[in-house]
Structures are given as structure tokens and as C-alpha cells.
Amino acid sequence: MQMQVIPIVLLVMALIIWRRTRAMTRAIKGNGIRMLLPMLFLLPAVLMFLNPELHMTTREIVLAIGTGILLSIPLILTTNYEIREDGQIYAKKSIGFIISFVGLVLFRLGLRNYLSGLDPNELTALFLLVAASYIIPWRLVSYIKFRKLIAFREIEAKPADNSLQ
């Protein structure tokens, strides 16, 4: 990777960490569908796989997807939600999430340097597969965790409603 790009990557990483830590102080609005939006943002990049000059082996594809799934595990384990005193659902504060995210970015930077001999189109496609393979499971599991808390909150609220009658 060129040395000029590293400060940009570090700046983007810092902005993402700042945004995520700031989001932990705000209640999550709605029914959680917005958690699934990053998966939709990956859709335009799928057109890259229609490029006839792109030649990837099955082994490369399987390794990229497997790497992405492995990278999603720490994110899944460190992303949790809680119901606070005001009855709203918040993301739990977790230093583990920040460490996992920084480790993920550093791993991807190192992997990019290691695989720099590949064709740029193949390298981009492989990293897209890795990204999709950790974003999709992470966001789906996060959505499921959030929906379970919504259901729990509704169950807890029902006995209180019945006592008013």
C-alpha cells in the first residue's frame, strides 16, 4: 500500500470508531431495519463480478468467504444491546468491539500488502467478498439480538398494561 493512503485509512478508522462510540449513548430508534442497510450498500459492488477480465479460482473465493466469516465472529461476540432505565434499547458499551474493529482493519491492511502481487481487479473482488462475508453475518446476528430485546421489552410491558385494567 502506498504511504499516502495510510493516513487516510487511519482517519476513516478513527471516524468510524468515534461514530460507533457516540452511537452507544443514543437509543436505537425504530424496529432495527436500519441495521441491515450496510448489506444493501454492498449491492452495487456485485456488478464487479460481471467483469469478463476477472478470473478468480474457487479456492480464492472460498478462502475469502471463510476469512470474512472468521472475522465476523469477534464483531458478533462484542456487539450487544441492553434495555436501560428509560425503557429504550442501546448498544452496550464495549471496548472489545473497538479492539476487534481496529484488529480487523489492521488485518485487512496487512493482508492487502501480502496479496499485492494479485491483479487489482481480483484483489478488489477478494476484499469485497471478505467484507461482505463479515458484514452480512455480523449485521444479521445484530438484528436478531436487537429483535429479541424488542420482544422481551414487549413481554415485560404487557403485565404492566394488564394491571391497569
pTM above 0.95, yes or no: no
25/91 Cα distance (integer angstroms): 8
Per-residue pLDDT of the chain (165 residues; tens, 9 = 90+): 566 777 887 788 888 888 877 877 888 888 989 999 988 998 888 888 888 888 888 998 999 999 999 989 998 999 999 999 998 999 888 888 788 888 887 887 777 777 777 788 888 888 899 989 999 999 999 999 999 999 998 888 776 555 555
pLDDT of residue 132: 93
Amino acid 70: pLDDT: 93
d(CA 16, CA 101): 9
What is the 3-class SS of the chain, one letter each residue? CCCCHHHHHHHHHHHHHHHHHHHCCCCCCCCCHHHHHHHHHCHHHHHHHHCCCCCCCHHHHHHHHHHHHHHHHHHHHHCCEEECCCCCEEECCCHHHHHHHHHHHHHHHHHHHHCCCCCHHHHHHHHHHHHHHHHHHHHHHHHHHHHHHHHHHHHHHHHHHHHCC
pLDDT for residue 65: 94
Using only C-alpha atoms, what is the Rg of the chain?
19
- CA 83-85-86 angle, to 5 degrees, is 90
Burial class (CB in 10 A: 0-12, 13-18, 19+), 68: buried
Tell me: the pLDDT tens digits for 75-91? 899 999 999 999 899 98
Local structure of residue 85 (DSSP, 8 states): T
120-163 vs 58-78: helix axis angle to the nearest 10?
30
Q: Tell me, what's the pLDDT at 164?
A: 54
What pLDDT was estimated at residue 80?
92
